[in-house]
Amino acid sequence: MKINILLFLFLFAFTSMFAQKGKVTSALGFKEAGRLDEALAVIEGAIDGNNAKAKSSIEWPRTWEVRGEIFQAIFQSKDENYRKLHVDPLAEAFRSYQKAIELDDKDRFSKSIRIKLTLLIGDFINQAEASFNSQNYEKALGSFEKVLEIENTPVFLEESPATVDTAIIYNAALSAYSAKKFVKAIALFKKVAAYKYNGAATYEKLSESYLGIKDTTGAIEIMHEGLEEYPANSLILTKLINIYEKTNKVEEAIKYMDLAISNEPDNESFYLYQGFLFERMNNIEGAIKSYQKAIELKFNSFDALFNLGLVYYNRGVKQVDVANAVPGNQTDKYELERNKADLEFKKALPYFEKAYEINGRNNSLLEALKNVYYRLQMRDRYDTLIEKINLTNQ
C-alpha cells in the first residue's frame, strides 16, 4: 500500500513537472503564432512563485529563455497593442536571459542564449538610435549601456574576452553628453580616447563635457592631452584657442593661433580669428594685417571685409571725438583732426562696399556704411542706400 502511495506521489510530481514545462512550450507556440498577449500570460504563469506547481518551470533555464524571446517579440511587434504589454520589453528580455544563464548550471543552453543575446544587442542598438534621433537621450544612453552590459556577460566573454566595442562606448558617451550627463560622458569619452577612437573629435567632445560642468581647467588640460596625441590638429587647436579666448587668456590664444597658422598657412579663417584676437589685445595694426591676409586668401570673405572696414571705421569714430575735443577757437587744428577722421572713413569705405555686394542685408554693415557716406558727404550714395534700406524694411 505504501509503495502504491509513493508511486502515485512520484507520478503526480512527474506529471506536474511536465505540465508546467508544457506551458513553456505553449507560450512559445503562441509567440510563434503572433499571439503575444496569450504567450505573455502563459509564460508569466509558468514563473508565478505563488503557484506551487510552477516550481519546476521556475527553475528550468528554458523557461526564462523563452520568456526573453517573448519580450523581444513584443518589442519587435508592429502592433501597438502588443507593444504596450510592457513599458521596457528589451530590459525585461535581458533580465530573463540573465536568469536563464544563472540557472543553467549544466551549460545546456549557453549557445542558444548567446544567439538570443546577439539578436538582443541588435534590438537595443535600434532602440538607442531611434531614441537618440527623437532626442530621448537618456533612453538612448540606457540602451547603449545595455549593449555593453550584454557584451560583458560570461557567455560573450568566453568567446571574445579581449573585445572592446569602442563604437558603442562612443555612442553611449555621445548620448550622455546630449543628455547633459557630463560626468558620465567624460568617463566614457576617456575610455574610447584610450583606444584612439574617432581621433581628435573625441578630445573635442571631452573638452565640451568638462565645460558642461564648468571645469575650464579640465577642458584645457584634456585639450593639451589631445594635442600631445594629435600634434598640430586644427580641431584641437581651434577648441583650445576658443577656450583661452573665452576665459580672457588672449595671449595664450594668440600663441596657439600662431601654431595653427604655421600648420595651415592658407586657412583664411585662422587669419580672421587672429585679427579678432589682436583687436582684443588692442593691437590694431596686427589686426589689420591679419584681416588683409584673410582677404588675400579669400577675396569674397564677408567677415574679413567687414571686420577690416570696421577697424578703420572705429578709428575714424575715435578721431571724430578727438576733433570734437578741440577748442572752438582752434579752427585749423579742428580741421586737421577732422580730416584725419575722414581719412580713416575713406579707408573703411571700399571694404564696406565690397562686403555690401556680398551681403546687403547685414544691419550692422548697413548702419556703418550709411554713416560713412554721411561723414564723407557722399549724398547720392547715402540717399540710394537709405532708399534700399526702406524698401527692405517694408
257-298 pLDDT, tens digit each: 999 999 999 999 999 999 999 999 999 999 999 999 999 999
Of the CA atoms within 13 Å of residue 80, those in its CB half-sphere come to 0
Of the CA atoms within 13 Å of residue 362, those in its CB half-sphere come to 17
**Is position 112 within any domain?**
yes
Confirm if 171 and 124 have CB atoms less than 8 A apart: no
Q: What pLDDT is attached to residue 15?
A: 46
- Of 130, 154, 183, the position where a domain reaches its end is 130
- Long-range contacts formed by 360-365: CB under 8 A, 24+ apart: 360/388, 361/392, 362/302, 362/306, 364/306, 365/306
- Of 112, 130, 148, the position where a domain reaches its end is 130
Q: What pLDDT is attached to residue 50?
A: 84
What is d(CA 98, CA 23) in angstroms, rounded to the nearest whole number? 21
- Of 111, 130, 149, the position where a domain reaches its end is 130
Q: What pLDDT is attached to residue 11?
A: 37
Q: Is 325 exposed, middle or buried (0-12, 13-18, 19+ CB in 10 A)?
A: exposed
Could you count the other beta carbons within 10 Å of the beta carbon of residue 156? 16
27-83 pLDDT, tens digit each: 999 999 999 999 999 999 999 888 878 788 899 999 999 999 999 999 999 999 999
Confirm if 109 and 155 have CB atoms less than 8 A apart: no
**Is position 249 within any domain?**
no
Domain that holds residue 372: 300-394
What's 392's domain CATH number? 1.25.40
Q: What pLDDT is attached to residue 366?
A: 95
DSSP 8-state assignment for residue 376: T
What is d(CA 350, CA 371) in angstroms, rounded to the nearest whole number? 14
**Is position 61 within any domain?**
yes
Confirm if 212 and 180 have CB atoms less than 8 A apart: yes
**Is position 47 within any domain?**
yes
**Is position 49 within any domain?**
yes
**Is position 80 within any domain?**
yes
Q: How many domains does the chain have?
A: 2
Q: What pLDDT is attached to residue 327?
A: 93
Q: What pLDDT is attached to residue 393?
A: 76
**Is position 207 within any domain?**
no
Average pLDDT of each block of 10 consecutive residues along the chain (394 residues)? 45 46 90 96 90 85 96 96 96 96 92 94 98 98 97 85 89 98 98 96 97 97 96 94 96 96 96 97 97 97 98 97 93 94 97 96 94 96 92 75
